[in-house]
Structure 1
């Protein structure tokens, strides 16, 4: 969820000369519809012919800002501000907010409101008054929350980051069995209401599930269900109204203690989009959740924090790096005791944003072995590790070879798992090439295209292999 609202309020009317009026009108409508990336080149072309035009500068700035480039947007918004466009300070405040310059954002919002007051004082008595954008009040609230978070940035060690496909990103969380499993929503019975997108958390026992579903008002709430003695599931029930807190609740993870719950919510206690919250359960249910603050939460979406106590590693996902169809997963070392950076720490905002995860490392630290252990799934565990996780019809998940009923099913499963491993390797290689391309290595462009085609073929083949496992398992011995 991003800050949206009235885009062109207060903008001066312009005569476009030879520029096609419909094209400009289309761009303005794109902007109002939230398609800033599509509107941007149209406005930039018009601005190249009229570089000092206040409204064009403001529109280009807004499109850059809402496309995730607040630093570049400032250049254009400052031109609009110098030419006294009344909304320019509000947009500059948003750009400052996105860069964690919360005090600056507050000052700009003050100036925006003062500008409206002064403009109204100069109007004729019967002239309609200029009204403050509702978006400004929302931005001020989030700015105040951001400043409070910036005063309490937790000092953590982030050992790694990875860019992964947004769809089913949670499959990159390599949890030990004791930590439970993160599952696609297709493990749920067909008649259950389920939020999309979301994931389903199950503890190691597999006897309980937590997921997100729309309520009667179409808000997402966390739901739970327990497996009954006969193998069926009881009636889904909300986990508790305390977890809702306005907005949508999604992406749950329960610690093995059965008490501590992490989840995401985009309501009024969120600084931007989804934020990660923690709640604990007592005999009366879940207690009032708390926003876990920075660096976990940002001015963009952050969700699905999971902690593996066996291996001493945690994960969370974030959209703060604005990677389009991809999101970033950070892996970090969790601590029982929260230690915050001093508020006068140089570069505190950079630590809160995680501009460089390696800057969180102690001197001479090396986490190579730890990462290799996690990636190879060589867990330190006193209990047996599942051979795999595979969903069969009827919402049953099997995890061992012994649960496959026929030799043909076991052979089909071997082929399926081999294909899964190949796809995983190719996805990692594709991610690596995309990072090289983003860094300026254009020589990998052809290989990226070829690998993308290969990955798509492998995904199609995987679906057929999965069906083959199911068909083979349904046959009698």
Structure 2
């Protein structure tokens, strides 16, 4: 090779390297400044891939680790945030411990979260900083830590990610379970949802959420008297100042009420609570947290149980983008059973609590198959219009009987005749109750109130007995 040519080629390489240093380094600096500007304006989704690129080139840079970790946490990737925030915290980057605690919490690593937050609070206190918000976060973390020891064994048969704006369309309730509708004239709450109105199957009572004078959502109830609804009555036992309470649903017993609240003394965001109406005091019992896996550090709400189809629904924005929500469909337990905290591997328990993989809950495959079949029926069910029908009795998603001649099982036919008698008695009692309410509205008399309450209870019991009779008829007919 020509020596002069080789020297010229070497000089060109050196010159190219110098030019690269002149142009590429400023370009890199400009890009990191852009990423930091996006970060400063809370545009974490845009900033995250830029920080990730620099982190690959400089994996031990504490600031890159911090910025990327926070961006990952803010965009719902708490699992990816932990390692970089651990490095940033170890290198004493300011506030790294705070975000690391949140990342642990969001990833169900509650023991680690408590340790980091307690240490960070002590540091802030030595610096004479206000730690009241941090202490609230620590209490939420400790509550999550305790709840992990009692994760309910519930079968979740399906999960569907939908737009927040129309999440109710995923709830396929039977007519026997009442109805849910949006209250369109109200603003969205902190979950990004319109408040919800629940109306009972009988159409005589409804529960709704509306803003009070302080701007917080509270629960109200209305009763139908004749063709008119009474004034909205606040559920004062449940409503509290500076706390949002919404998403009501009542079981067919007319007593058990589920709702959601964003109180600071709960697990985080909205939590699902359950209470029961006490007829003796005309008030509600102290609410209970339904616990994991239904509740989490995120927003969890609109818990519904369809007793007719033995299916349940609830919504959660855990691990979801800002405009999405996941609807979990589960099989309600008649008796609550929990996983053994001492024998269940901690990673498995975390996944069960977070519902990261619903198939982990499929301990009983037959129950899952039956549940999916009931869900299919609920999704595909449409009331069938029949002319000259003696009655309309739904057997399954394929058959609606309109005459006693349709029954193939003699035993099922006999039980259906009993069902018709029960239906007639229930209609009679409903009419009686309606008349009593109208009379009471016109002439309020406290002595008549117990009779109305007793009759309401009797009607509720009769309604439940009819549902059980219908289940028996279907079982006998489909044997």
* SS of corresponding position for 1:337: coil
Going from structure 1 to structure 2, the CA distance change for 1:39 and 1:180 (only over 3 Å counts) comes to same
Tell me by how many angstroms 1:236 deviates.
Answer: 1.7
Distance (whole Å) between structure 1 residues aligned to residue 286 and residue 328 of structure 2: 26
5+ long unaligned stretches in structure 2: 1-25, 384-390, 395-479
Is the 2:77–2:319 contact (alpha carbons within 8 Å) kept by the matching residues of 1? no
Is the 1:253–1:263 contact (alpha carbons within 8 Å) kept by the matching residues of 2? yes
5+ long unaligned stretches in structure 1: 1-14, 121-128, 387-477
Q: Deviations over 1:40-76 (max 9, x none)?
A: 3454466567654323321221121121111111122
Equivalent in 89, 94, 107 of residue 99 of structure 1: 107
Is the 2:187–2:194 contact (alpha carbons within 8 Å) kept by the matching residues of 1? no
Is the 2:277–2:284 contact (alpha carbons within 8 Å) kept by the matching residues of 1? yes
Structure 2 partner of 1:177: 175
Structure-to-structure mapping, 1:327-366, within 5 angstroms: 327-344=325-342, 345-346=344-345, 347-365=348-366, 366=369
Structure 2 partner of 1:142: 140
Structure-to-structure mapping, 1:188-337, within 5 angstroms: 197-229=194-226, 231-244=227-240, 246-283=242-279, 284-337=282-335
Structure-to-structure mapping, 1:357-376, within 5 angstroms: 357-365=358-366, 366-367=369-370, 368-376=372-380
Distance (whole Å) between structure 2 residues aligned to residue 337 and residue 307 of structure 1: 14
Structure 2 partner of 1:58: 66
Q: Deviations over 1:162-221 (max 9, x none)?
A: 2222113122211111110011224xxx7x899651221001122222111111111110
Structure-to-structure mapping, 1:30-45, within 5 angstroms: 30-31=41-42, 35-41=43-49, 43-44=51-52
> Which moved further from structure 2: 295-304 or 349-358?
349-358
Q: Deviations over 1:92-143 (max 9, x none)?
A: 22111111111111111233245456xx5xxxxxxxx352654421221111
Distance (whole Å) between structure 2 residues aligned to residue 297 and residue 54 of structure 1: 34
Equivalent in 28, 33, 37 of residue 26 of structure 1: 37
Structure 2 partner of 1:412: none
Distance (whole Å) between structure 2 residues aligned to residue 193 and residue 64 of structure 1: 30
Structure 2 partner of 1:409: none
* TM-score (norm. length: structure 1): 0.67
Is the 2:136–2:264 contact (alpha carbons within 8 Å) kept by the matching residues of 1? no
Structure 1 partner of 2:82: 74
* SS of corresponding position for 2:375: helix
Distance (whole Å) between structure 2 residues aligned to residue 104 and residue 308 of structure 1: 38
Distance (whole Å) between structure 2 residues aligned to residue 362 and residue 17 of structure 1: 53
Tell me by how many angstroms 1:86 deviates.
Answer: 3.9
Is the 1:182–1:202 contact (alpha carbons within 8 Å) kept by the matching residues of 2? yes
Going from structure 1 to structure 2, the CA distance change for 1:202 and 1:165 (only over 3 Å counts) comes to same
Distance (whole Å) between structure 1 residues aligned to residue 392 and residue 271 of structure 2: 35
Going from structure 1 to structure 2, the CA distance change for 1:258 and 1:384 (only over 3 Å counts) comes to farther
* TM-score (norm. length: structure 2): 0.67
Distance (whole Å) between structure 2 residues aligned to residue 194 and residue 163 of structure 1: 19
> Which moved further from structure 2: 196-205 or 362-371?
362-371
Going from structure 1 to structure 2, the CA distance change for 1:107 and 1:194 (only over 3 Å counts) comes to closer
Distance (whole Å) between structure 2 residues aligned to residue 385 and residue 136 of structure 1: 58
* SS of corresponding position for 1:321: coil
Q: Deviations over 1:288-307 (max 9, x none)?
A: 21111001011211111111
Tell me by how many angstroms 1:353 deviates.
Answer: 1.0
Q: Deviations over 1:267-309 (max 9, x none)?
A: 1232121110001111321222111100101121111111111
RMSD: 2.9
> Which moved further from structure 2: 317-326 or 271-280?
317-326
* SS of corresponding position for 1:201: strand
